[in-house]
Structure 1
Amino acid sequence: MTYVIMHFFSTGKGPAGSARGLLVLNHEYVDPIMLYPEGPTPMTAEKVTKALHAHGVTVIAIEQAADGSWSQVDSEFNRRVHGNTPVDFSGPVGEDHPALAANGPARGTLNNCSMGHTPWGTFLACEENWNGYFGTTSVTWTATAEQKRYGVDKVGFGYNWHLADPRFDIAANPNEIHRFGWCDEIDPQAPTSTPVKRTSLGRFKHEGALVTEPKGRVVVYSGDDQEKEYIYKFVGERPWRHERARGASPFDNGHLYVAKFHDDGTGEWLPLVHGEGALTVANGWADQADVLLRTRSAADAQGATPMDRPEWITENPRTGDVYCTLTNGSGQHNAANPRTPNPYGHIIRWQERRNDKTGTAFDWDLFVLAGDPAYDSRVTIKGDKYGSPDGLYFDADGRLWIQTDISNSSQNLAAKGYDGIGNNMMLAADPRTGETRRFLTGPRGCEITGVVTTPDQRTMFVNVQHPGESTTAWGTPTPANPRAVSNWPEFDPAGRPRPSTVVIRRLDGGVIGA
């Protein structure tokens, strides 16, 4: 099971709010070699069920002891949301929409990457690479234009669930894919509540969801994590407190936009609203639900700027600037993605015009071009080098925490320009000066992904995802030897590497990073 992105919801008041809370974690994907002791072949219905239940979201109650250590505690709030959990839909693509009419009731959430949290205390689990779970053995099936646009094909990512469960057979059950690609709202303090897929936020490969509240309205930023894809923004129509008071979701009334980065450092948010621009009936767009089901194609039609894998988005609490990681890519031939190719990635930031996040104009610049100066003279890092930035988190004091996701096919390899960078890591950066310092380095074959602190900033939680996965530099684990690359964190001679959440505190009990 993967321990990926998380948030800490305090359940105490005052100082107790930093000693007791609910830790909510995404479980993005499974590594079949690590999940099944006997290996993934042959695929069976039992193995599919096991994998589905290893995906999703976990809510766990945790408390801090007098010695500073943390542990899980029994609680009515402890809960799992997985690939078979019943779900609802809200917004223009409601649960009765014909596109959602698949075999059986709507269930589950898959490939939850980053997340968001709302001012009213809920968690947004974001569905990223959901296309890879589908496949078919049908010799007559061919992908439609929209299925191709989302990367749906016969083999997916090789999970082979379709061989044992017709739910994931794209030929036999083609509408099941429409149930994924959304942001799922989960209430961690209502353990019997049903997760709701908020369709107004669009359907694509959501990396995360930064929720802000300008003018009392919700604004949600989200990146579509694939090369040549886009950055999106949802703007709520009315104050969220007003919507909640009348029993409505603040996500159900508003407009979705996609970013256009002009080469002169200005930008605009293009509306993904039915009837505006190219999104008309005459051009083949039936209604707003159609726009949201085909969000990528709608963004294409409106002329958005393709980016080098837009991933995490975060906001500087001191300035209101918004930052987004572009992890890497082949290059997009525009000023916002200035390197072709771009194996190291970069971080872009923008300031909404007049600091109005509900508006449609912004100004942007590049915070950093990542990489190793030994291989690329254009690198602008000041301090410790890194590549493939992914996770981003601003703490309350304005420190920017950067986590990396160097591909397992590139980690530590001179041929990829990563031998001088090493394993994935987390760094701290000063957004005023750009100075960057490495804070921690992960074990072999892992991604460092997910970081949050308690309100007093004296405890930090960091996730280590899938240590010991197959890497070109270090080898390939097998069911007989899952420890070929790493045996972190337990180093059990008969065990296997395990994703884990690391709890960090200073010896003097001070603020992390100060």
Structure 2
Amino acid sequence: MAKHDIDPNYNDPNYEPVVNHSGNTPFESVLASRLKRRSVMKGGMGAALASVMGLSLAGCSDDDDDAVATPSTPAPDGDTPSATELGFKPVAVSTANSVVVPEGYTAKAFVPWGTPLTGSLPEYRADGSNTGEEQEQQVGMHHDGMHFFPIDLKAGGNSSTEGLLVMNHEYINQTHIHPAGATGESNLDGVIISRPADEVRKEIAAHGVSVIHIKQGADGEWAVVHGSPYNRRVTGGTEMDIRGPVSGYSKLVTRFSPLANQTRGTLNNCAMGPTPWGTYLTAEENWAGYFANKGAITREQARYGTGSASRRYDWELADNAADEYVRFNVTAIAATADLDYRNEANTYGYMVEIDPFAPESRPQKRTALGRFAHEGVIFAPVTEGEPVVCYSGDDSRYEYIYKFVSAQPYYAATAGGHLLNQGTLYVARFNEDGTGEWLPLDLSDAGFKAKVDAAVGTTVGAIAFDGFENQADVLVNTRLAADIAGATPMDRPEWGAIDPNSGEVYFTLTNNSKRTADDIDAANPVINNINGHIIRWAEAGSDYTATSFEWDIFVFAGEQGTETVVDGEAVVTLDDSNIFNSPDGLWFDYNGRLWIQTDGYSNEVFGNQMMLAANPVTREIKRFFVGPQGCEVTGVVTTPDSKTMFVNIQHPKANWPNAAEARPRDATVIVTRDDGGVIGA
């Protein structure tokens, strides 16, 4: 997720550096080729943008009576309105420092950063003076992706009044987390050479995941169930296991884990994905900048943007020199890898599985799903006896979209995270004729192996390629493998979602501000493409394991008058009720509405960041929610009955949600209809 004017660390151009120099055919060139037979309309306040579907993707899916409803996406209770009805009056853009929802709805802040959660339940102190130990017992900072697990899920239930709200905490704001911001000792050149260890402990503790047991009272109000054994913090220091093909690989050997099967912590957790067996996968996104390297850069570090000096928080400079902190120095300083932390960064960049119903269990890093800047993961509906399929985007400019197909079939009675340890990882290529291919990143595939052999001795992007040692090496270097396979570079692929009615897969392509005059084409005619769009596809034969698909553009974001055109006809023309930029969060509710969240730029046209609802069939879009000043709207889920919605607000401006406090606090917003009805209907 892009960060805007949050603190000086995030103004660093290396925070989300462009590190794909592979020269693969850009996605914008693909769109240009497809548009040669189409007319591009002009009009409105922005350049008219074109979708060239021409394919009735909604007709590609058929009913699957054998599909098994996943525990993580329970069916709604009782009768519901038409699946995709948008029955609310859209809200206007807003620049107010408050949450705006439609008439007939109420929004309330809930579980803000610092909420007491575990242990001695330390209260949040508004002056920022909570200690590192206390932060380890409190809800983390910068709320992001989340999911609601009904408390009776494991018994086959779908409670809408009690459950586990599990959420990510992506990163921190050092200015707000400490009384006077980050402190430390500097040398004569002004370079930080040490930091207080407890500040470092607190910052690490504010990252990660919170598992929060919540319950709705008779008065309709939600509260944390204090003392619940389910309440839990997983932080940047929690011990966890490395599972799948990369476990035990030499490039993950560290002083902490000479066997290369363990690590500590998960960082920069953005979106997530509930599994079909009722666990939670959290994504490690922009993890590369947490590590300092003052020596030679390896190819793993180069392709992922791990720089030559500390850039993020200087955790490796903690003044107590504890092993849990010096591990962020990935410089090769000892004779062998088992004596230092040169490989520590290679233990990050994965999807991490957490069982919210087993608070004593260790998180598992599922390496078969690839290593990159995971935005999240979305699972296809599961079918008894068929493989598990899931999709993930690599959130960086000119990076890729991936699909994983498990080697073992799914059976509800025995399903678990082991299904994610072996399988085939694919990367997407979008062809100019509206078709696409899934390219395997597997050395046992003859086609991929031939591409690898042909690339040995050449320079792939900026990297001199000398081959892969084994499949573990392929997965540690997922981006490089995708370069070699010939994947299509995308404009920052972020969240995914699957339409429960049609089976189509949707992904947000947030923006690409690096596009220059040399990149523009008929489909993307604007230099510095800052608005983004949403792509979707249907797998061949409605089979999620298929290796081909058909794709189109669902909608282009932009100002009033921006058009999405299908075969010469504008099927979406944005107006005051639905203008938006930089689509990011994406979720289909249990009735088939598509919820779109934004993380872009705010000005007098767009106002603050927002959330919209869309009908995937008609492409009707309405603005439903606007966040407070300075925030990103991210993470959305409802209870199974669709009558309570949870929305996360990340990095709000000062004085939200409590106007009496100077420091802003990330928080979840609970949205309900005043008449108790279904959200969005």
> Equivalent residue for 2:478?
295
> Equivalent residue for 1:90?
243
Q: Is the 8 A contact 2:144 2:169 kept in 1?
A: yes
Q: Is the 8 A contact 1:123 1:188 kept in 2?
A: yes
Unmatched 5+ stretches in structure 1 = 413-418, 469-485
Q: How does 1:137-286 map to 2 (within 5 A)?
A: 138=294, 141-155=295-309, 157-164=311-318, 165-171=325-331, 172=333, 173-215=341-383, 216-241=386-411, 244=414, 249-276=418-445, 277-279=447-449, 282=453, 283=456, 284-286=467-469
Shift of 1:157: 4.2
Q: Is the 8 A contact 1:56 1:111 kept in 2?
A: yes
Larger gyration radius, structure 1 or structure 2: 2
CA distance in 1, matches of 2:533, 2:400: 15
Secondary structure, in 3 states, of the residue corresponding to 1:113? strand
Shift of 1:204: 0.3
1:130 pairs with one of 284, 287, 292: 287
Q: Is the 8 A contact 1:77 1:188 kept in 2?
A: yes
Q: Decide whether aligned partners of structure 1 residues 51 and 502 sit closer, same or farther in structure 2, where only a CA change above 3 A counts.
A: same
Q: Is the 8 A contact 2:508 2:585 kept in 1?
A: yes
Give the letter aligned to residue 281 of structure 2. Answer: L
Say if 2:547 is the partner of 1:372.
Answer: no
Secondary structure, in 3 states, of the residue corresponding to 2:469? coil
CA distance in 1, matches of 2:430, 2:655: 44
CA distance in 2, matches of 1:207, 1:339: 26
Q: Is the 8 A contact 2:300 2:476 kept in 1?
A: no
Shift of 1:166: 1.9
1:437 pairs with one of 611, 622, 627: 622
> Equivalent residue for 1:473?
none
Shifted more, 151-160 versus 187-196: the winner is 151-160
CA distance in 1, matches of 2:449, 2:304: 19
Give the letter aligned to residue 151 of structure 1. Answer: G
CA distance in 1, matches of 2:374, 2:362: 20
CA distance in 2, matches of 1:16, 1:260: 38
> Equivalent residue for 1:63?
215
CA distance in 2, matches of 1:218, 1:321: 16
> Equivalent residue for 1:475?
none
Shifted more, 168-177 versus 266-275: the winner is 168-177
CA distance in 1, matches of 2:505, 2:645: 22
1:430-483 deviation per Cα after TM superposition (whole angstroms, max 9, x unaligned): 111211111111111111000000000000000001112xxxxxxxxxxxxxxx
Q: Is the 8 A contact 2:505 2:536 kept in 1?
A: yes
Shifted more, 151-160 versus 496-505: the winner is 151-160
1:375-425 deviation per Cα after TM superposition (whole angstroms, max 9, x unaligned): 89998536410000000010111111000001xxx422xxxxxx3001111
CA distance in 2, matches of 1:237, 1:55: 33
Q: Decide whether aligned partners of structure 1 residues 157 and 453 sit closer, same or farther in structure 2, where only a CA change above 3 A counts.
A: farther
Give the letter aligned to residue 436 of structure 1. Answer: I
1:5 pairs with one of 145, 150, 164: 145
Q: Is the 8 A contact 1:347 1:368 kept in 2?
A: yes
Q: How does 1:42-81 map to 2 (within 5 A)?
A: 42=184, 43-74=195-226, 75-81=228-234
> Equivalent residue for 1:457?
642
Give the letter aligned to residue 677 of structure 2. Answer: G
Q: Decide whether aligned partners of structure 1 residues 351 and 111 sit closer, same or farther in structure 2, where only a CA change above 3 A counts.
A: same
Q: How does 1:20-35 map to 2 (within 5 A)?
A: 20-35=162-177
Q: Is the 8 A contact 2:561 2:573 kept in 1?
A: no
> Equivalent residue for 2:582?
388
CA distance in 2, matches of 1:91, 1:176: 17
Shift of 1:339: 5.5
Shift of 1:334: 7.8
Q: Decide whether aligned partners of structure 1 residues 302 and 380 sit closer, same or farther in structure 2, where only a CA change above 3 A counts.
A: farther
TM, length-normalised to structure 2: 0.68
Shifted more, 338-347 versus 192-201: the winner is 338-347
CA distance in 1, matches of 2:309, 2:245: 31
Give the root-mean-square deviation of aligned CA atoms: 2.2
Q: Decide whether aligned partners of structure 1 residues 179 and 286 sit closer, same or farther in structure 2, where only a CA change above 3 A counts.
A: same
Shift of 1:341: 3.3
1:307 pairs with one of 478, 490, 505: 490
CA distance in 2, matches of 1:18, 1:308: 37
CA distance in 1, matches of 2:621, 2:633: 17
CA distance in 2, matches of 1:388, 1:448: 11
Unmatched 5+ stretches in structure 2 = 1-140, 185-194, 258-262, 319-324, 334-340, 457-466, 566-571
2:602 pairs with one of 411, 414, 417: 411
CA distance in 2, matches of 1:354, 1:11: 36
Shifted more, 342-351 versus 208-217: the winner is 208-217
CA distance in 2, matches of 1:374, 1:398: 27
Q: Is the 8 A contact 1:12 1:18 kept in 2?
A: no
Give the letter aligned to residue 285 of structure 2. Answer: E
Q: Decide whether aligned partners of structure 1 residues 309 and 423 sit closer, same or farther in structure 2, where only a CA change above 3 A counts.
A: same
Secondary structure, in 3 states, of the residue corresponding to 2:300? helix
Q: Is the 8 A contact 1:452 1:461 kept in 2?
A: yes
CA distance in 2, matches of 1:85, 1:261: 39
Q: Decide whether aligned partners of structure 1 residues 242 and 67 sit closer, same or farther in structure 2, where only a CA change above 3 A counts.
A: closer
Say if 2:587 is the partner of 1:420.
Answer: no
Shifted more, 234-243 versus 16-25: the winner is 234-243
Q: Decide whether aligned partners of structure 1 residues 381 and 142 sit closer, same or farther in structure 2, where only a CA change above 3 A counts.
A: farther
CA distance in 2, matches of 1:287, 1:190: 34
TM, length-normalised to structure 1: 0.89
Q: Decide whether aligned partners of structure 1 residues 28 and 231 sit closer, same or farther in structure 2, where only a CA change above 3 A counts.
A: same
1:28-47 deviation per Cα after TM superposition (whole angstroms, max 9, x unaligned): 10111111112113132222
Shift of 1:205: 0.4
CA distance in 2, matches of 1:103, 1:274: 30
Q: Decide whether aligned partners of structure 1 residues 144 and 243 sit closer, same or farther in structure 2, where only a CA change above 3 A counts.
A: farther
Secondary structure, in 3 states, of the residue corresponding to 2:495? strand
**Higher RCO (C-alpha under 8 Å, 6+ residues apart):** 2
CA distance in 2, matches of 1:400, 1:377: 17
Shift of 1:15: 8.6
Say if 2:206 is the partner of 1:19.
Answer: no
Shift of 1:342: 1.6
> Equivalent residue for 2:272?
115
CA distance in 2, matches of 1:7, 1:492: 30
Secondary structure, in 3 states, of the residue corresponding to 1:148? helix
Give the letter aligned to residue 428 of structure 1. Answer: A
2:657 pairs with one of 485, 489, 493: 489
How many corresponding residue pairs?
A: 482
Q: Is the 8 A contact 1:131 1:156 kept in 2?
A: no
1:215-249 deviation per Cα after TM superposition (whole angstroms, max 9, x unaligned): 4421110000000000000011222228936x871
